[in-house]
């Protein structure tokens, strides 16, 4: 007699599909380009557009090796395919981290920000982002015989909670509160700085909209918004989280000197951004699968 656990295992195994030759070569070539670009970036000694605190210097090399291993098709055995799926998810995360700061570099190409781009770094980030897109296509493939009734919906609630710290703190400061501030007015005067919290208020609303699959909601618009927001924050969150770790290890910036804000505040913001990108990706993916038939 087939148990429910055995059925789940069969469904899981049915989703472990080998990568096609075209995808394999495209992915491997992109990984080689990321590796080569990372080497050139280090050799030319151009100042990085992001401080070294935001990512370890060896990140592009580790990301390229792990991602390339996720593309290589050794055999069609379920164990290797399962290991490849883990390598692809890991490579996807590392490639997105490698692409950190890419949105800011793109803004520097416009009049919105002062010019000055680290071009070798920009090329590495762009190639890493392209590799992440190919990896995302692989890991996000809809499994065969998927039982949508068993897909969790709590990710949206988690993303909603993780989107709140920044707007809550900004609102308190705009109302005259001093929690987390070393001196009054360190976060800016009046309600103008509060406008920076609007994207996170929208992110909180989006998180709630991804929980249910009601027909009145525009599916394609929600999926576009969900993946776009996840991609943008994912290129900021991991780097910011690494900044926290490196600061704690080295002991720098622990007193918030020079910014007038206590160190636990950026720790709260950066960690919430990091975990929001994960929760939002899960919520968007869950909504995508659950709403496929609606």
User: Could you write out the three-class secondary structure of 191-225?
Assistant: CCHHHHHHHHHHHHHHHHHCCCCCCCCCHHHHHHH
Could you report the per-residue pLDDT of 137-164, keeping only the tens digit for each? 888 776 655 555 567 788 999 999 999 9
State both tokens at 227: 């993946």
Q: Report the C-alpha gap between 260 and 253 in whole angstroms.
A: 11
> How does DSSP classify residue 91?
H
What confidence score (pLDDT) does residue 225 get? 94
Q: Report the C-alpha gap between 48 and 166 in whole angstroms.
A: 27
Q: Report the C-alpha gap between 272 and 240 in whole angstroms.
A: 10
Q: Under a CB-based contact definition with an 8 Å cutoff, are residues 63 and 23 in contact?
A: no
Q: Report the C-alpha gap between 195 and 178 in whole angstroms.
A: 18
Q: What's the whole-model pTM score?
A: 0.74
Q: Report the C-alpha gap between 282 and 286 in whole angstroms.
A: 6
What confidence score (pLDDT) does residue 110 get? 77
Selection from 66, 69, 73 nearest residue 98 by Cα: 66
> How does DSSP classify residue 190?
S
HSE, CB side, 13 Å, CA atoms: give it for residue 140: 18
What confidence score (pLDDT) does residue 2 get? 34
HSE, CB side, 13 Å, CA atoms: give it for residue 122: 11
What residues of the chain score a pLDDT lower than 70? 1-19, 45-54, 75-76, 112-114, 142-150, 250-259, 293-294
State both tokens at 249: 């290890």
Task: Characterize 101-128 residue by residue with b for buried, 16 or more Cβ atoms within 10 angstroms of its Cβ, and e for exposed.
Answer: bbbebeebeeeeeeeebbebbbbbbbbb
What phi, psi does 153 have (nearest 5°)?
-120, 0
Positive or negative torsion for Cα 25, 19, 130, 61: negative
The torsion defined by the Cα of 69, 71, 76 and 82, in degrees rounded to 10, comes to 70
What confidence score (pLDDT) does residue 15 get? 47
Quickly tell me which residue has 């990321």 as its tokens.
34
What confidence score (pLDDT) does residue 199 get? 93
State both tokens at 141: 């493939």
What confidence score (pLDDT) does residue 10 get? 34
């Amino acid at each position: 007699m087939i148990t429910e656990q055995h059925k789940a295992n069969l469904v899981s195994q049915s989703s472990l599909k080998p990568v096609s030759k075209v995808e394999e070569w495209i992915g491997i070539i992109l990984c080689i380009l990321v590796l080569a670009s990372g080497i050139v970036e280090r050799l030319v000694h151009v100042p990085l557009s992001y401080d070294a605190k935001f990512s370890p210097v060896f990140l592009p090399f580790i990301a390229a090796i792990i991602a390339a291993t996720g593309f290589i098709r050794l055999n069609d055995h379920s164990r290797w395919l399962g290991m490849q799926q883990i390598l692809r998810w890991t490579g996807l995360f590392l490639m997105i981290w490698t692409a950190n700061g890419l949105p800011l570099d793109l803004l520097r190409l416009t009049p919105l920000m002062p010019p000055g781009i680290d071009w070798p770094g920009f090329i590495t980030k762009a190639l890493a982002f392209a590799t992440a897109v190919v990896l995302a296509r692989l890991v996000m493939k809809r499994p065969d015989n998927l039982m949508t009734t068993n897909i969790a919906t709590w990710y949206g609630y988690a993303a909603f909670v993780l989107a709140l710290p920044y707007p809550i703190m900004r609102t308190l400061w705009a109302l005259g509160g001093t929690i987390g501030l070393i001196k009054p007015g360190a976060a800016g005067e009046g309600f103008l700085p509060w406008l920076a919290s609007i994207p996170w208020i929208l992110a909180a609303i989006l998180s709630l909209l991804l929980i249910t699959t009601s027909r009145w909601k525009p599916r394609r618009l929600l999926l576009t918004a969900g993946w776009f927001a996840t991609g943008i924050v994912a290129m900021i969150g991991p780097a910011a989280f690494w900044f926290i770790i490196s600061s704690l290890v080295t002991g720098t910036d622990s007193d918030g000197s020079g910014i007038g804000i206590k160190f636990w505040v950026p720790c709260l913001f950066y960690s919430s951004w990091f975990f929001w990108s994960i929760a939002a990706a899960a919520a968007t993916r869950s909504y995508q699968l659950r709403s496929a038939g609606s």
